[in-house]
A and B are shown apart, each in its own frame.
Chain A
């Protein structure tokens, strides 16, 4: 079965540093999405990268996708204390129902002020 796995499970950095999170998956995908979740809250969509794209930027976020390795990375540059949250990758796998997303285990990011 398809499964998203992020690493690291937890990441602690200082404000101003960059944070990189990785995600791996198992089957062919239509797209891969990154979501953020603050403690006890809903998931907020950050960025979507399609299977035919290799890199995408949105503000301080940079996402890469390597379909040959079935992996993606999320880079947050110049991190802020407000970036503290859990970050999840989610894959919309090829041939599945629209937006039947398979979520990864998440990376808990702590940005120290």
Chain B
């Protein structure tokens, strides 16, 4: 069964550094998402992406965050200048067409900002 893959599985970075989290969504999916989960807290929506542009973003997704689909397969999340509070598990997801298409999640990238 096709799956969403994320790399790296764990990223450690220093405060103020830029990080890029990478995802390969399921190939025939049209909608792409980033969610995050701070340790012990809820899974939170960050951004959705469709037709090469952001569909919606949450209040968390400020100017420090950006997403890109640089080619036909990868979907990236960039954090320009990381803060301690950005430490979390970041999940990429993709879905097919329509309101009732379930999300397929990757296994996540654990980002630790020191």
Contacts and interface: CB of A to CB of B under 8 A. Distances in A.
Interface in B89-110: 91, 93, 95, 98-108
B100 A88 contact: no
A11 interface: no
Nearest to B30: A98
B43 interface: yes
Contact of A44 (B42, B55, B99, B105): B105
B87 interface: no
B31 A99 contact: yes
A59 interface: no
B30 to A, nearest CB: 10
A98 B31 contact: yes
Contact of B56 (A50, A90, A97): A97
Interface in A76-101: 88, 90, 92, 96-101
Interface of B: 4, 31, 33, 35, 42-45, 48, 50, 55-56, 91, 93, 95, 98-108
B108 A99 contact: no
A45 B33 contact: no
A102 B58 CA distance: 11
Contacts of B103: 33, 43, 45, 99, 101
A6 B42 CA distance: 11
Interface of A: 30-31, 33, 35, 41-45, 48, 50, 88, 90, 92, 96-106
* Most-contacted residue by chain B among A92, A96, A101 (CB, 10 A): A101
Nearest to A98: B99
B91 A99 contact: no
A103 B43 contact: yes
Given A42-B107, A45-B103, A92-B99, A100 B48 contact: yes
Given A33-B102, A99-B99, A101-B35, 9 more contacts: A42-B4, A98-B31, A98-B55, A98-B95, A98-B99, A99-B103, A102-B45, A104-B42, A106-B42
